[in-house]
Amino acid sequence: MNIIEAIETRRAIKHYDADHEMPAADLAELIRLTKLAPSSFNMQNYRLLVVRDKALRKEIRGAAWDQAQVTDASVLFIICADLKAHSEDPALYWSHAPQEVQDILGPMIKPFYDGKDQLIRDEGIRSSAFAGMTLMLAAKELGYDSCPMIGFDGAKVAELINLPEDFALSYILPVGKQSKGAWDRGERLTDEKVVSYDRF
Amino acid sequence: MNIIEAIETRRAIKHYDADHEMPAADLAELIRLTKLAPSSFNMQNYRLLVVRDKALRKEIRGAAWDQAQVTDASVLFIICADLKAHSEDPALYWSHAPQEVQDILGPMIKPFYDGKDQLIRDEGIRSSAFAGMTLMLAAKELGYDSCPMIGFDGAKVAELINLPEDFALSYILPVGKQSKGAWDRGERLTDEKVVSYDRF
């Protein structure tokens, strides 16, 4: 599918074929493509929880205003951020680069973030959104639809999935085969409201 | 361009043809496509500042570790979040929907966010990342490359662009014609590190 068509036809789909099981090859391809999304310092600080267990998804649905897509989509991704990614060995992220680049960038990561909790959180939310947007568009090519969601009880879902203390839950992303389309796309705000030039 | 190819070939490009000017039609198309990105409650709470003024871009480069892409890309987007979007008239976001849906969703927005500063900020960072990732992939179709950046003095850049008090600066996104490619793509973390199943 052409990238423009993927952007134009991606919609937040709420109704899915609950009997569809995603083939392992499709799941692997979605994960491969998601991992090509950009992240600061190449930290790849997003984390993907793939929830397929039916009983657990029923419990998560109970914590998410009973929205049907939580149980009915083929796969439920819970997109998280690893808030300690900047503290890990920089070689994890930079071993591909020329040694002189590693020598400059490696030591920059930790001091750039250390002690800056809001920046660390912003970075985690941002990276996990870059990753998930990539996933949503890749899904279109593979014949799937998706529905990014923040309407749920975050503390309850965190408990259900054993969210580690140094992770943040960014959002939930059901991906599956649509059984019913969306209504007409919501109106776009005007360019005058969304776009400014040079200075605000 | 196929969506998979766009995802696979998008790289953070740091060197651009400084003489290239983006045609108005290309800029308009990039903005149109960016505005199709999803956002919670369809609030479209991202804001795009398009910086073309050369003198201003030189000043921003000075606040961004002197990185050449800030001045040399055809257009510099500064992607922001409107932190008061949830307080506006819900009809702005929902006038397309059936009246009974408007009656349910409209009154939900304000109470969902009011007083929850971290949630409001997360939402702004998330929406602006969904929008910018869409922009980066759309740019590939139009023959452009991009480079999402957070390496800059946020307070200084905010001052230079007169960032409104209730906006957050999410990240900077130069878009232009590459004059030199990227080095090999950084290693990806293993699936074992990035992906978990059912529970952490």
At residue B111 the predicted structure's pLDDT band, cuts being 50, 70 and 90, is very high
Q: Which residue has the tokens 């927005």?
A: B109
Dihedral over alpha carbons A32, B190, A70, B91 (to 10 degrees): -70
pLDDT in tens, A24-33: 999 999 999 9
Distance CA B198, CA B181 (A): 39
Q: What are phi and psi of A92, to 5 degrees?
A: -55, -35
What pLDDT score does B96 carry? 82
At residue A95 the predicted structure's pLDDT band, cuts being 50, 70 and 90, is confident
CATH number (3.60.70.12, 3.40.50.2300, 3.40.109.10, 3.40.50.10540) of A6-181 reads 3.40.109.10
Average pLDDT over residues B134-146: 98
Average pLDDT, chain A: 96
Q: Which residue has the tokens 């999402």?
A: B148
For residue B53, which residues of chain A lie inside 8 Å, CB to CB? Answer: 198
Q: Which of A35, A160, A187 sits opposite B95 (nearest CB)?
A: A187
Does residue A25 sit at the B interface (CB-CB below 8 Å)?
no
Identify which of A131, A121, A39 has the alpha carbon closest to the alpha carbon of residue B187.
A39
Q: What are phi and psi of B146, to 5 degrees?
A: -150, 175
Identify which of B16, B51, B20 has the alpha carbon closest to the alpha carbon of residue B179.
B16
Distance CA A14, CA A70 (A): 9
Q: Which of A133, A191, A198 sits opposite B37 (nearest CB)?
A: A133
pLDDT in tens, A75-91: 999 999 999 999 999 88
pTM of the model: 0.98
User: Does the CA dihedral B60-B174-A118-A196 come out positive or negative?
Assistant: positive
Say whether pLDDT at B91 is over 90: no
CA distances from B31 to A56, B47, B49, B85, B161 (A): 40, 11, 11, 19, 19
Say whether pLDDT at B49 is over 90: yes
Give the domain ranges of chain B.
3-194
Looking at A73-195, list the stretches that DSSP marks H as alpha helix, in order from N- to C-terminal side.
Answer: 91-94, 99-113, 117-141, 154-160, 191-194
Distance CA A146, CA A159 (A): 24
Whether residue A134 contacts residue B7, with contact meaning beta carbons closer than 8 Å, is answered with yes
Is B3-194 a CATH 3.40.109.10 domain? yes
pLDDT in tens, A172-198: 999 999 999 998 888 899 999 999 999
For residue B151, which residues of chain A lie inside 8 Å, CB to CB? Answer: 40, 112
